[in-house]
Amino acid sequence: MTERSIFLLPGDGIGPEIMSEVKTLISHMNDKEGANFKTDEGLVGGSAYDAHGEAISDSDMEKALAADAVLFGAVGGPKWDDVPYEARPEAGLLRLRKDMALFANLRPAICYPALSNSSSLRPEVVEGLDILIVRELTGGVYFGEPKTITDLGNGQKRAVDTQVYETYEIERIAGVAFEMARARGNKVCSMEKRNVMKSGVLWNEVVTATHKAKYDDVELSHMLADAGGMQLVRWPKQFDVIVCDNLFGDMLSDVAAMLTGSLGMLPSASLGAPDEKTGARKALYEPVHGSAPDIAGKGIANPIAMFASFAMCLRYSFNMIAESERLEKAIATVLDSGVRTGDIMSEGCTQITTSEMGKAIREAYSAA
């Protein structure tokens, strides 16, 4: 059977703790199911900075580019607050996204039945929730130039970030959102701020034109992104697919995370364009959350977003749909059984550690 290469980048804080649980599942799938995953591991973020002074080395970058898929934990933490801006841990992740051309970031927010009481919102607002945020990931204010801080010499400084989008960038992310919608609820809501931003005007225009040209079977609506944030917490089930730029997508996906009970629940897939000849696409899979410095090293982090990110990897990079669904079902089964990590703990449930949750998910996966 063909070898499936996965490059693992555990990163910092809770990254290595949650990655270790998924690594054990990968070994299990190799040993018991002949999955033939070949893994290699590198450094990213603060741990890479400590080892060689940059947030990802060129050689690890090459390995990421060569792998069938990259699994990423999390980066960052107070230890690296004072490192040069270019070498800050987050720069490693941004370089991976840019150099691998991962323009399409899929962030599904699903409220598992057992967790409808864990959200800070009323159960009827979130139960059965299944929405997908499609975030543009290689453009916008994250990468636009100029991006500078200038000393004005009078005790003042001026900081500039630049929001830039070109037609093709909006067209291709809109295409992903419409394609995704066709395979689920057939609705897309595009969010921007055309009332104050030129890039919002173009965004709205291009999404509308793309819809008209190729996807008019999909229901399209538009919302100003601030109102969209409000609607996400007022009645999130009105949405199916939300498409937005890099910064709005970052913020709205953290908001959506809390609808599912915890930031520790939300996975993501970052995908490049399919290769014209082979159809293969570069891809990186990571939880939406960060390195959670406040709980790192305590063995209490929720590994579910990491497992669910691996489930997305099985689906999108390896077309292992049955295994992906089995893993998602294993997560639901474990939650149904009443065990919880601290972040999703509720009355009547049993609190368990990261490694106990990992073991429970692997056992449920094997049993399914």
**Tell me, what DSSP letter sits at residue 85?**
G
Of residues 55, 288, 311, 320, which one binds ligand IPM by CB under 6 A? Answer: 288
Residue 133 lies near ligand NAD (rule: CB under 6 A): no
Residue 264 lies near ligand NAD (rule: CB under 6 A): yes
Separation CA 254–CA 232 (nearest Å)? 11
Separation CA 197–CA 200 (nearest Å)? 5
Residue 40 catalytic? no
Q: Tell me: is residue 135 an annotated ligand-binding position.
A: yes
Q: Tell me: is residue 90 an annotated ligand-binding position.
A: yes
Q: List helix spans (H) across 42-88.
A: 46-52, 58-66
Residue 145, H or E segment: strand 144-151
Number of residues that bind ligand NAD (CB under 6 A): 21
Residue 11 or 236: the one with the smaller Cβ distance to ligand IPM is: 11
Contacts of 80 (CB under 8 A, 6+ apart): 12, 45, 46, 49, 88, 89
Residue 250 lies near Mn ion (rule: CB under 5 A): yes
Positions in 219-238 near ligand IPM (CB under 6 A): none
DSSP per-residue string spanning 2-31: --EEEEEEEESTTHHHHHHHHHHHHHHHHH
3-state SS string for 103-136? CEEEEEEECCHHHCCCCCCCHHHHCCCEEEEEEE
Of residues 104, 263, 311, 314, which one binds ligand NAD by CB under 6 A? Answer: 263
Residue 142 catalytic? yes
Residue 295's binding partner out of Mn ion, ligand IPM, ligand NAD, none, with CB under 5 to 8 Å set by partner kind: ligand NAD
Residue 81 or 124: the one with the smaller Cβ distance to ligand NAD is: 81
Residue 216 catalytic? no
**Applying CB under 6 A, which part among 32-40, 69-77, 205-213, 320-328 lies near ligand NAD?**
69-77
- Least distance from Mn ion to the Cβ atom of residue 259, Å: 15
Binding site for Mn ion (CB under 5 A): 250
- Binding residues for NAD(+), as ranges, are 77-90, 290-302
